[in-house]
């Protein structure tokens, strides 16, 4: 089920006539600051994942990071750079509404204060002709509405946004490419929530090795299932 990224809308890109950003050698400078969205934990840009067995609070952590970033609050003593967050809740949509509402109530936060938008729908991020262009458009709309630059896109979960592909086959490379395309478009971090294999001794993310090969950051969540 591999797809060609050339099939995607050519207008998705950096805005020049060919859609590819060019930086010449004389303009290249070291990047020493602004590398972290959550200092020393979550990078400002790139492709990351939170993964673990079912019931180990992966979504709780993903939501907490999302809302802290959307509010610009330091997290557990780590400095946070504020930005807009788009959370794709492809499963457990009722639970997400309840958890977000509980967070806002517990912290006495007005619902319109966090720079946060929820897409409570399963989407296909494997086929580049399906929902990848729609997601790019939705992120841009959310950032404009929230008056914040896109910072983080959470995809909960990878399996629910994988279309009809095979996680254990080469389709995973296409999925990673589409996520990286979204990250590059907005200079943000894209982070699916994912699972471990059922074998308890295997601590790697489930699926083809191209997922691990494409990751900039990886977070394993362990604990007693809830």
Residues 212-221 have a mean pLDDT of: 95
User: Of the ranges 26-40, 54-68, 94-108, 136-150, which one carries the lowest mean pLDDT score?
Assistant: 26-40
User: Of the ranges 29-38, 190-199, 212-221, which one carries the lowest mean pLDDT score?
Assistant: 29-38
Could you tell me what percent of the chain has a pLDDT over 70? 90
At 150-189, the pLDDT tens digits run 999 999 999 999 999 999 999 999 999 999 999 999 999 9
**Residue 152 resides in a domain:** yes
**Residue 28 resides in a domain:** no
Give me the DSSP letters along the chain: ----GGGS-TTSSSSSSSS-----GGG-----S--EEETTTEESSEEEEEEESTTS-HHHHHHHHHHHHHHT--BTTB-B---EEEEEE-S-HHHHHHHHHHHHHHTT--TTSS-EEEE-S----SSTTTTHHHHHHHHHHHHHHHTS-EEEEEEE-SGGGSTT--TTSTHHHHHHHHHHHHHHHHT-EEEEEEE--SSTT--SPSS-HHHHHH-SEEEE--S---
Q: What is d(CA 33, CA 53) in angstroms, rounded to the nearest whole number?
A: 35
**Residue 27 resides in a domain:** no
**Residue 9 resides in a domain:** no
Per-residue pLDDT at 111 exceeds 70? yes
pLDDT band at residue 9 using 50, 70 and 90 as cut-offs: low
pLDDT band at residue 13 using 50, 70 and 90 as cut-offs: very low
**Residue 185 resides in a domain:** yes
pLDDT at 17: 63
pLDDT at 18: 67
Are residues 47 and 176 in contact, defined by beta-carbon separation less than 8 angstroms? yes
**Residue 29 resides in a domain:** no
**Residue 19 resides in a domain:** no
Per-residue pLDDT at 2 exceeds 50? no
The sign of the CA dihedral 208, 132, 160, 64 is positive
pLDDT band at residue 207 using 50, 70 and 90 as cut-offs: very high
CATH label of the domain that carries residue 199: 3.40.50.300
pLDDT at 30: 85
Q: What is the mean pLDDT of the chain?
A: 90
Structural domain containing residue 56 = 39-220
Number of domains in the chain: 1
Per-residue pLDDT at 106 exceeds 70? yes
Say which residues have a Cβ less than 8 Å from residue 158's Cβ, sequence separation at least 6. Answer: 49, 167, 175, 192, 193, 194, 195, 207
- 52: how many CB neighbours lie within 10 A of its CB? 21
pLDDT band at residue 39 using 50, 70 and 90 as cut-offs: very high
**Residue 193 resides in a domain:** yes
At 66-82, the pLDDT tens digits run 999 999 999 999 999 99
pLDDT band at residue 226 using 50, 70 and 90 as cut-offs: low
């Amino acid at each position: 089920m591999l797809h060609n990224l050339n099939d995607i809308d050519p207008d998705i890109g950096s805005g020049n006539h060919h859609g590819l950003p060019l930086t010449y050698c004389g303009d290249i400078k070291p990047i020493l600051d602004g590398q972290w969205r959550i200092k020393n934990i979550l990078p400002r840009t790139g492709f990351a994942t939170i993964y673990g067995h079912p019931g180990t609070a992966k979504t709780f952590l993903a939501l907490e990071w999302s809302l802290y970033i959307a509010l610009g609050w330091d997290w557990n003593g780590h400095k946070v750079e504020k930005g807009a967050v788009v959370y794709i809740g492809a499963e457990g949509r009722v639970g997400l509404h309840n958890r977000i509402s509980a967070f806002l109530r517990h912290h006495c936060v007005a619902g319109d204060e966090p720079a946060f938008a929820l897409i409570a729908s399963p989407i296909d991020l494997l086929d580049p002709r399906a929902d990848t262009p729609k997601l790019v458009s939705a992120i841009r709309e959310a950032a404009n509405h929230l008056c914040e630059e896109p910072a983080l896109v959470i995809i909960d979960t990878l399996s629910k946004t994988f279309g009809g592909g095979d996680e254990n086959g080469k389709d995973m490379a296409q999925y990673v490419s589409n996520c990286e395309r979204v990250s590059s478009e907005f200079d943000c971090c894209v982070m699916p929530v994912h699972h471990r294999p059922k074998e308890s001794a295997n601590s790697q993310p489930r699926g083809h090795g191209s997922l691990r090969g494409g990751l900039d950051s990886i977070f394993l969540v362990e604990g007693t299932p809830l």
